[in-house]
Structure 1
Amino acid sequence: MMKRLLCAAIVLPMLSACASWTDGSAAFEPTPLHALPAQQTALKVQWQSSVPAAQGGLFSPVYDQGLLWLASGNGDITAIDALNGNRRQQFSLKQPLTAGVAVSGKLLFVGSAQGQLLAVNMDSGKIVWQQTLTSVLMESPQTGGNVVVTRSNDGRLTAFDAASGRQLWTDWQALPPLTVRQTTPQIRVEGDDVLMVGAASGKLAIYALEKGRMLWESVVASPRGASELERVTDVVSQPVFDGRRVCAVAYQGRVACFEARGGEQVWARELASSRGLSMDAKGVYATADDGSVWAFDPDTGRNLWKQDGLRYRNLTAPVKLGNTLLTVDGEGYAHLLSPVDGQIVGRSQLKVEGTMARPLVLGNIAYVLDAKGTLSAVTL
């Protein structure tokens, strides 16, 4: 798939900055939840496991060979069995972290609060190599092939040889005066040879992973308005790719889809989101910053439906779980939506606190990490 993407590329977003801004949805009361019909889709909690809390950094679980690896702000790294939630490994780096984890072979990669990329042996917990970056990491490193890529808080992209730590290439993206506070990863490796990058300028760029050559760059949303705040159009969530097209969404901007081969825009619609989106053959699904969930036709951009029943509930991006869409709110409720018409078809209270990263879906199981350090495995 990667070879196809070298002619066809993808992108995604980040946030870092001289200043930050958060949306004002917290000023609104969460939309009350209404009772669902008795015949609703069942959502079951298979297991829950306690892991070290993130403590302010950007941390998401990563799957590797049956284990879910997680890092925390205090320097703990934990491996959880993906099938039963049992703890298989835990060690401490004894220094604060800001982002992680990524995995390549036997190495784990995390960002330290001192602005270093650390490569850690997953068996011993020993640091194998470290590289000083131009700024701290505020999103997880990404790996592909034998390459690990970082984006630091000053907009600097840097790629290293995963085994040795040798720097392969670097590039810098200028940052505007204001950027959105980061809540999800923005850089992403697709396959083994394409890097997708979303910029604070509202652009999407695709790079050849090993050499750092930009394959194409396109505009998701252009800054508008007189003030710096009005002109914030960061692409702050990962784009999605369906084999033909790449779609991304910008804060205070638009959702747009592009031809993977060359980056020509296929369609764009007004939508403001820092939460992210997902995609299948029948729809592009996005959570807007007000908590409404939208679906668009992937070929034309026509609005298929809009779900307003979860507004201001601090939702994650919707992810596909079986034949439904799953999103989790800030009060710990997991909601199932029909991808056909957006109706809420199921709900379960996970007994978690605070919205975290978007759920990680592996097969028929979704893994949900909350802000307090509870990892939940849920299935239909």
Structure 2
Amino acid sequence: MKTDPNLKPLRHSPRWLGVVLASLMLGACSFLGSSPENKPKDIEVHAPLLNIQQTWTAKVGTAFKAQMSMQAKAHVLTVASSDGEVTAIDANTGHALWKASLQEALTAGAGVDGDVVAVVSANNELVLLVAGQEKWRQRLTAPVFTAPLVAGGRVFLLSTDRSIMAFDANAGHRLWTQTPSTTNESLVLQQAGVLTAMNNTLLVGVYGRLAGIQPDTGSVLWESPLSIPRGTNEIERLVDLVGPVSKTNGVLCARSFQSVVACVNAGNGKMLWTQKSHGIHGVDGDQQAVYGVESNGMVVAWNRSNGSQLWSTDQLKYRKLSPPLLLGRSVIVGDSTGNLYFLSKTDGSLLNRVKTDDSGILAQPMIAGNTLVVTTAAGKIYGFRPE
């Protein structure tokens, strides 16, 4: 078992009500492009400025939800479908290295460290696989929609009651449970939150706050509020942090749902900047900029050092976009009709567009080895080689 170098909204009664209401809100957001006045623009790519070659396709299960994140370690890509199929794929060829069929629906996955894979079932069970074979499972007290973090011989979880848990990856017993601070808010989003690590600190999104957690004990080192709920009802007050995030040089940048994009010093929790932003997906970035998509399909770039806006583009407006991926000179996003767009990271201009299938691209594209990987809602996986 390898060791990660970074590590040596819910109403409780009834439990599901908060999740259902938040899901309805997300559904409303996703139909921004459905009315005639919000019709997306026609896009033509006359002379592509970036060469992109599709190299392989694969299939994992029959459905893939946005929170079922892919994970890549070197050239090995691990994918868990919503209907319970978990597959490790050689991203160079698209060939399966191993497959496991759990024959049960999954709500979160896959967390990966070497050959160890963790997923969470719809029955609220944490399931750990080693090289495709089930090793143990543990019953949980609340649903989970954020992929587990597997690191340092442990499995970390963020559940919908906003509890953070650590399990021993070898034996499966619980090491600690922590809730950084109490909240009276009753709704939680049915999508992936923030659960990651930097410099031996576990970083967790708890409602509108980012918390730094000591991974050995679960003690809270600091909390930094990215956004404070200000709405007049529970839906308007939703400010959960959503994944993915951008981590560079000890700074984590993240989005608070429909509220702000912000960057925080991951060592001490000091807020560096915040900018208002009306989006439902996380961000990506590099040392110079942070990139995100708004709920209406606008794509925006912010200066990483001070948060000032560098550019925005409306050419994908009213298209239901995936979270962005920064790769080389491109900001890459997919849409609900299966198109994959490559935008210039310098000014947002369109470099190229390629087509997958019609089921749509919901999750953030992923880089595995030298291959760009995209998964569609139908469970189909595409491997591309951009220049």
Counterpart residue type for residue 327 of structure 1: V
Inter-CA distance 47–86: structure 2 relative to 1 (3 Å threshold): same
Inter-CA distance 102–45: structure 2 relative to 1 (3 Å threshold): same
**Aligned match of 1:136 in 125, 132, 143?**
143
1:10-89 aligned within 5 A: 17=19, 19-20=21-22, 21-22=25-26, 23-29=28-34, 30-54=39-63, 58-64=67-73, 66-89=75-98
Shift of 1:153: 2.5
Q: Which deviates the most, 218-227 or 19-28?
A: 19-28
Equivalences, count: 365
**Aligned match of 1:226 in 232, 250, 254?**
232
**Aligned match of 2:152 in 145, 163, 178?**
145
**Aligned match of 1:99 in 108, 118, 125?**
108
Give CA deviations for 1:63-96 in whole Å, capped at 9, x if unaligned.
Answer: 2464322222333222222111122322322333
**Aligned match of 2:178 in 154, 159, 171?**
171
Structure 1: where are the runs of 5+ without partners?
7-15
- Find the counterpart in structure 2 of residue 13 from structure 1: none
Cα distance between partner residues in 2 of 1:300 and 1:212: 31
SS in 2 for 1:177: coil
Counterpart residue type for residue 189 of structure 1: A
Normalising by the residue count of structure 2, what TM-score does the alignment of the two structures yield? 0.87
- Find the counterpart in structure 1 of residue 202 from structure 2: 195
Shift of 1:178: 2.8
Q: Which stretches of structure 1, 4 residues or longer, exceed 6 Å deviation after superposition? A: 2-6
Check conservation: 1:221, 1:253, Cα contact below 8 A. yes
The percent of aligned pairs where both chains have the same amino acid is: 30
Give CA deviations for 1:124-148 in whole Å, capped at 9, x if unaligned.
Answer: x2x3222111123222111111111
Q: Which deviates the most, 162-171 or 94-103?
A: 94-103
Shift of 1:119: 1.6
Shift of 1:3: 8.7
**Aligned match of 2:261 in 232, 239, 255?**
255
Cα distance between partner residues in 1 of 2:335 and 2:143: 29
Q: Which deviates the most, 307-316 or 96-105?
A: 96-105
Give CA deviations for 1:274-325 in whole Å, capped at 9, x if unaligned.
Answer: 2111111221111111111111111121111001111121111221122111
Structure 2: where are the runs of 5+ without partners?
9-17
SS in 1 for 2:242: coil
Cα distance between partner residues in 2 of 1:351 and 1:18: 28
- Find the counterpart in structure 2 of residue 118 from structure 1: 127
1:307-322 aligned within 5 A: 307-322=313-328
Shift of 1:163: 0.9
Shift of 1:271: 0.3
Shift of 1:185: 4.8
Normalising by the residue count of structure 1, what TM-score does the alignment of the two structures yield? 0.88
Inter-CA distance 275–330: structure 2 relative to 1 (3 Å threshold): same
- Find the counterpart in structure 2 of residue 289 from structure 1: 295
Shift of 1:161: 1.1
**Aligned match of 1:208 in 187, 195, 214?**
214
Inter-CA distance 59–187: structure 2 relative to 1 (3 Å threshold): same
SS in 2 for 1:24: helix
- Find the counterpart in structure 2 of residue 370 from structure 1: 376
Cα distance between partner residues in 2 of 1:104 and 1:4: 12
Cα distance between partner residues in 1 of 2:230 and 2:306: 25
Check conservation: 2:66, 2:363, Cα contact below 8 A. no
Cα distance between partner residues in 2 of 1:356 and 1:25: 11
Check conservation: 2:73, 2:114, Cα contact below 8 A. no
Inter-CA distance 80–352: structure 2 relative to 1 (3 Å threshold): farther
- Find the counterpart in structure 1 of residue 15 from structure 2: none
Check conservation: 2:92, 2:369, Cα contact below 8 A. no
Check conservation: 2:109, 2:146, Cα contact below 8 A. yes
Shift of 1:228: 2.0
Residue 358 of structure 1 pairs with residue 358 of structure 2: no
**Aligned match of 1:271 in 277, 295, 301?**
277
Cα distance between partner residues in 2 of 1:244 and 1:275: 22
Counterpart residue type for residue 269 of structure 2: G
Counterpart residue type for residue 144 of structure 1: A
Q: Which deviates the most, 266-275 or 255-264?
A: 255-264
Cα distance between partner residues in 2 of 1:215 and 1:40: 47
Inter-CA distance 91–266: structure 2 relative to 1 (3 Å threshold): closer
- Find the counterpart in structure 2 of residue 12 from structure 1: none
Counterpart residue type for residue 338 of structure 2: G
- Find the counterpart in structure 1 of residue 12 from structure 2: none
- Find the counterpart in structure 2 of residue 236 from structure 1: 242
